[in-house]
Amino acid sequence: MTEAATALKTTPLHALHVELGARMVPFAGYDMPVQYPLGILKEHQHTREKAGLFDVSHMGQVRLTGDDPAAALETLVPGDIKGLVQGRMRYTLFLNEQGGILDDLMVTNAGDHLFLVVNAACKEQDVAHLRKKLAGKAEVELLDDLALMALQGPMAAEVMARFVPEAATMKFMSYLSATFKGVPVILTRSGYTGEDGYEISCDKADAEMIARALLGESEVETIGLGARDSLRLEAGLCLYGHDIDTTTTPVEGALEWTLPKRRRAEGGFPGYDIIHRQLTEGAPRRRVGIQPEGRQPAREHTEIQDANGTRVGEITSGGFGPTAGAPVAMGYVDIANSAVGTPLTLIVRGKPLPARVAATPFVPQRYYRG
């Protein structure tokens, strides 16, 4: 084993991944399963048809406490955090002064604190950012004694209800403190596959017991990061560091839905001037779905040209969508070429490949709406 490989961190489920025959790869400083013997294609399809279990313990879980942590957090994100009622959660963005995106995250109102889930690669800097900017206003705790799993797919609710009956009636984007086979868990009805499902936060020491219990159900297969990526891409969801980063604003990233009316009017978050201007006047470029013709996938960094052969952008995520049965991609194009249906040319391995701007998601999202 190389020196770099030995320096990788592991999750509480590492031994289980190895036991299950996972192919392990470095990801955000962790030794993570990219696929299991089933393979990415079948793991993807299984999640869409039944239920898949994902280890996402590498992600950062953060507790924010204080007199008014919602007001404090609103100084760093454009989402409506003050209006988040207890037990509900929402997706938002850490922004920089230029309106660029530092990270995307989930925020839950857990009653006496806010519970944040942030990206693995960003968690150290997110915590440092929170501590620096919210000093004196909120206490920030990185909960690195916790594990995080996701159970996703149309049968996730049925499976989860066998262990946590009250999970069945949880609303989409809600939070529940519960007991799973005698141990405490935090469930949220959320995920990043476009399917119904849950994220399960638990003590590290209980993670393997919970994972084995869920995998013991006939509908559940263990799923790696490879399928996680194709599932979220088909669902039209952004991958931080690829589809959004510090050089893209929420408007350019087609994430205006994360900017509620009150925050648009009041501001009070980093980059407000730029974002307000872009909301009014438009942004020069926009993230769009892209449907290549034929079967050849167009990968990240593929050049995008308009009908005249002028470079108008670049693909930021691309691959083959097993459920779509076709290649799928997303990327940035100049605003003149961003309407759905606009013909584009992708330069794949030096050859022109015809494509069109497509509506996302590429497959219908099937979140639980009660």
54 contacts other proteins (rule: CB under 8 A): no
> Least separation, in Å, of the C-beta of 33 and other proteins?
13
Distance CA 200, CA 210 (A): 9
Amino acid identity at 155: M
- Selected range binding other proteins among 136-144, 156-164, 170-178, 295-303, rule: CB under 8 A: 295-303
In whole angstroms, give the CA distance from residue 156 to residue 193: 12
Helix axes 40-49, 225-234, angle to 10 degrees: 60
Note whether 323 binds other proteins by CB under 8 A.
no
Which of these segments, 88-96, 100-108, 192-200, 294-302, binds other proteins (CB under 8 A)?
294-302
Residue whose CB is less far from other proteins, 60 or 318:
318
Q: How far is the CB of 40 from other proteins (least distance, A)?
A: 5
Residue 35 or 337: which CB sits closer to other proteins? 35
Give the three-state DSSP class for 327. strand
Distance CA 214, CA 163 (A): 9
C-alpha closest to that of 90 among 56, 115, 65? 115
- CB of 21 or CB of 268, closer to other proteins: 21
Closest separation between CB of residue 122 and other proteins, Å?
24
Q: Which of 319, 346, 361, 363 binds other proteins (CB under 8 A)?
A: 319
Q: Report the nearest approach of other proteins to the CB of residue 306 (Å).
A: 24
Evaluate the omega torsion of the peptide bond into residue 361 and state whether it is cis, within 30 degrees of 0: yes
Q: Does 295 bind other proteins (CB under 8 A)?
A: yes
The stretches of the chain forming alpha helices (DSSP H) are 3-6, 14-19, 40-49, 69-74, 123-133, 156-163, 204-215, 225-234, 261-266, 272-281
Kindly identify the residues of this chain, within the stretch 24-53, that bind other proteins according to CB under 8 A: 34-35, 39-42, 44
Q: Which is nearer to other proteins, 124 or 293 (CB)?
A: 293
Among 109, 193, 230, 258, binds other proteins (CB under 8 A): 230
Contact region with other proteins (CB under 8 A), list: 80-88, 142-150, 234-242, 296-304: 296-304
3-state secondary structure 75-131: CCCCCCCCCCCCCEEEEEEEECCCCCEEEEEEEEECCCCEEEEECHHHHHHHHHHHH
3-state secondary structure of 161: helix
Could you give the string, one character per residue 330-349, with x where binding to other proteins holds by CB under 8 A and - elsewhere? -------------------x
Six token digits for residue 87: 């037990």
What are φ and ψ of residue 363, in 5° steps? Answer: -130, 150
Q: Greatest CA span in the chain, whole angstroms?
A: 64
Residue from 299, 314, 324, 347 touching other proteins (CB under 8 A): that is 299
Residue 177 interacts with other proteins (CB under 8 A)? no
In the list 78, 322, 331, 361, the residue contacting other proteins (rule: CB under 8 A) is 322
Q: At what angle do helices 156-163 and 204-215 cross, to 10 degrees?
A: 120
Number of residues near other proteins (by CB under 8 A): 18
Annotated ligand binding at 124? The verdict is no
Query: Which residue ranges are tagged as binding site?
Result: 199
Binding region for other proteins (CB under 8 A):
34-35, 39-42, 44, 226, 230, 295-297, 299, 319-320, 322, 327, 349
Query: Which residue ranges are tagged as binding site for substrate?
Result: 199
